[in-house]
């Protein structure tokens, strides 16, 4: 069942989204060669808790950290660790969320570590742009297939591939609500978009093929062919006046 939100509920979700976005900014500013993913995760946790919120990921399904931090060919769900050290030329995906007054924010960004390759820069840019292509199609009366098709079309036109196995999702008082939000689809097909929907839209884009594999730790997902992957996510609300980006803040990246 899809839970449509009223204006008061969307306002409450903005607070969770703001905390999530601010935590990501803190994480971004920490990214540099030599830092561990554990240090970044701990800073995210401290900030979220300082705001009177709870890290949405910590303990969720047994996940042991406050952020998923994934490096290079790791697509999503990387587990932070003291021995996971960022190196010059890496790209790092940081995905986190906050629960505030019962509502969840969820957002992710891909950050270059120092000087990265031109291919990596373009991957990050295309992934971000594919999110915004999806937002252009997120209109009352359209369908989820319109959103997924817009994302996938931009990705493919730029020579990359969209991960199909993992998708975005509804979000509200629970991290994962209905409906699923694929980053691919057929225009005019799928669930009808209605005012009051709150969604986590999150393109995951690979340099190589779209296939991925799960690691023995039960969490980390990597590209099957070892190619680079990028991730960009915001929590959004669809209203009769358009789309609100609930996790975007003024100095977004």
Does residue 253 belong to any structural domain of this protein?
no
* Rounded Cα distance, 117 and 226, in Å: 16
Of 11, 7, 25, residue with least CA distance to 251: 25
Q: Are 105 and 98 in contact (CB under 8 A)?
A: yes
- Read off the pLDDT of residues 114-160 as tens digits, 9 standing for 90 and up: 999 999 999 999 999 999 999 999 999 999 999 999 999 999 999 99
User: What is residue 248's predicted lDDT score, i.e. its pLDDT?
Assistant: 83
CATH number at residue 187: 3.90.230.10
Q: 3-class SS at 21?
A: helix
List alpha helices for 61-177, DSSP H.
118-137, 144-157
Does residue 196 belong to any structural domain of this protein?
yes
Does residue 115 belong to any structural domain of this protein?
yes
DSSP 59: T
User: What is residue 249's predicted lDDT score, i.e. its pLDDT?
Assistant: 75
Does residue 231 belong to any structural domain of this protein?
yes
Query: pLDDT tens track of the chain, all 253 residues?
Result: 999 999 999 999 999 999 999 999 999 999 999 999 999 999 999 999 999 999 999 999 999 999 999 999 999 999 999 999 999 999 999 999 999 999 999 999 999 999 999 999 999 999 999 999 999 999 999 999 999 999 999 999 999 999 999 999 999 999 999 999 999 999 999 999 999 999 999 999 999 999 999 999 999 999 999 999 999 999 999 999 999 999 987 666 7
The tokens describing 112, both together, are: 């270059």
Does residue 107 belong to any structural domain of this protein?
yes
Does residue 62 belong to any structural domain of this protein?
yes
List alpha helices for the chain, DSSP H.
7-30, 37-50, 118-137, 144-157
* Rounded Cα distance, 15 and 217, in Å: 33
Q: Which domain, by its residues, includes 199?
A: 7-245
Does residue 75 belong to any structural domain of this protein?
yes
Burial level of 52, CB count in 10 A (0-12/13-18/19+)? Answer: exposed
The total number of structural domains in the chain stands at 1
* Rounded Cα distance, 9 and 100, in Å: 12
Does residue 250 belong to any structural domain of this protein?
no
């Amino acid at each position: 069942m899809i839970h449509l939100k009223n204006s008061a509920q969307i306002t409450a979700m903005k607070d969770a989204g703001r905390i999530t976005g601010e935590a990501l900014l803190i994480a971004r500013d920490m990214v540099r060669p030599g830092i561990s993913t554990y240090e970044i995760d701990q800073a995210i946790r401290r900030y979220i808790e300082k705001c009177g919120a709870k890290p949405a990921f910590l303990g969720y399904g047994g996940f042991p950290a406050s952020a998923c931090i994934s490096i290079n060919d790791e697509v999503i769900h990387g587990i932070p660790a003291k021995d996971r050290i960022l190196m010059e030329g890496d790209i790092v995906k940081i995905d986190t969320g906050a629960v505030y007054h019962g509502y969840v924010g969820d957002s992710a960004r891909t950050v270059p570590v120092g000087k990265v390759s031109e291919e990596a820069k373009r991957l990050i840019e295309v992934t971000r742009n594919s999110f915004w292509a999806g937002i252009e199609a997120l209109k009352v009366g359209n369908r989820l297939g319109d959103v997924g098709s817009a994302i996938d079309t931009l990705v493919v036109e730029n020579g990359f591939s969209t991960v199909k196995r993992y998708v975005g999702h509804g979000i509200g008082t629970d991290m994962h609500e209905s409906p699923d939000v694929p980053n691919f689809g057929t225009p005019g097909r799928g669930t009808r978009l209605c005012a009051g929907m709150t969604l986590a839209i999150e393109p995951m884009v690979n340099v190589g093929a779209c296939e991925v594999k799960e690691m023995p730790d039960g969490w980390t997902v990597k590209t099957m062919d070892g190619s680079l992957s990028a991730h960009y996510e915001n929590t959004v609300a669809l209203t009769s006046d358009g789309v609100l980006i609930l996790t975007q803040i003024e100095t977004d990246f």
